[in-house]
Amino acid sequence: MTTPSWLPAAHTWIDMAVTQHGRTRTGPIEQVHERPWATVLRIPTDGGDWYFKAVAPLLAHEVRLTHALATWIPDVVLPLLAIEEERGWLLTPDGRHRLREIIRADHDLGHWERALPLYAQAQMTLASHVEAMLTMGVPDRRPCHLPRLLAQLLADLPALAVESEDALTDDHGRQLDSALPCLTAICQELDAYPIPDTLHHGDLHDGNIFLWDGQPRFFDWGDASITHPFVSLRTVFVSVEISFDLPDGGAKEFAFRDAYLQPWAHLAPLADIIKAYRLAQCLAPLISALSWHRAVAPLPPESRREQGVAVHLLLREFLDGLSACC
Q: Where are the beta strands (DSSP E) in the chain?
A: 30-35, 38-45, 48-55, 82-84, 89-93, 198-200, 209-212, 215-218, 225-227
* Global pTM value: 0.94
74 and 150 inside one domain: no
- For residue 2, the model assigns a pLDDT of 44
Tell me which of 36, 68, 93 is where a domain ends.
93
Domain count, the chain: 2
Same domain? For 172 and 236 the reply is yes
Which residues on adjacent β-strands are paired with residue 45?
25, 48
Contact status, residue 96 vs residue 190, Cβ threshold 8 Å: no
Residues 27 and 111 in one domain: no
148 is a domain residue: yes
Give the percent of the chain with pLDDT over 90: 78
Looking at every residue in the chain, the average pLDDT score rounds to 93
Model pLDDT, residue 259: 95
Confidence of residue 300 (pLDDT cuts 50, 70, 90): confident
Of the pLDDT bands very low, low, confident and very high (cuts 50, 70, 90), residue 1 is very low
Name the residue range of residue 259's domain: 99-322
131 part of a folded domain: yes
pLDDT tens-digit map of 212-253 = 988 999 999 999 999 999 999 999 999 999 998 988 877 776
Give the confidence band of 197 by pLDDT, cuts at 50, 70, 90: very high
Residues 66, 110 within the same domain: no
Contacts of 257 (CB under 8 A, 6+ apart): 233, 277
244 and 112 within one domain: yes
Domain end: 93, 120, 136, which one? 93
- Residue 162, pLDDT > 90, answer no
pLDDT of residue 17: 97
CATH of the domain at 28: 3.30.200.20
What proportions of the chain, in percent to the nearest 5, are helix, strand and coil? 60, 15, 25
Residues 89, 187 within the same domain: no
| Boundary (domain end) residue, out of 93, 113, 146 | 93
Task: Report the CATH number at residue 126.
Answer: 3.90.1200.10
Q: Is 75 within 8 Å of 121 (Cβ atoms)?
A: no
Verify that 121 and 160 share a domain, yes or no: yes
Residue 1 inside a domain? The answer is no
Shared domain for 87 and 225, answered yes or no, is: no
Select from 1, 52, 55 the least CA-distant residue to 25: 52
94-152, pLDDT tens digit by residue? 998 999 999 999 999 999 999 999 999 999 999 999 999 999 999 999 999 999 999 99
Shared-domain flag, residues 33 and 60: yes
- The one-letter code for the residue type at 227 is T
Q: Is residue 36 part of a domain?
A: yes
pLDDT tens by residue, 43-75: 999 999 999 999 988 889 999 999 999 999 999
Residue 92, helix vs strand vs coil: strand
What is the reported pLDDT for 164? 82
Is pLDDT of 4 > 60?
no
Do 115 and 81 lie in one domain? The reply is no
